[in-house]
Amino acid sequence: MRKIFSFVVLICNLNIKLLCSTWSQMQSKQGVFEGEVRLVNGNSSCSGRVEIFHSGQWGTVLCDDSWDLNDASVVCRQLGCGSARSALQSAAFGQGSGPIWLDDVYCVGNEPSITNCRHNGLGVHNCGHHEDASIICDGKFYSYFRYPPFLTADI
User: What's the chain's average pLDDT?
Assistant: 76
pLDDT at residue 61 in the model: 77
pLDDT at residue 133 in the model: 93
Confidence check: pLDDT of 57 > 70: yes
| Complete domains list, the chain, with CATH | 1-31 (no CATH), 32-144 (3.10.250.10)
| CA-wise closest residue to 133 among 32, 36, 45, 40 | 40
The more confidently predicted of residues 38 and 64 is 38
Confidence band, pLDDT 50/70/90 cuts, at residue 2 = very low
DSSP state of 61: -
Integer Cα distance of 41 and 49 in angstroms: 7
Percent of the chain having pLDDT more than 70? 68
| CA-wise closest residue to 110 among 98, 119, 118, 102 | 118
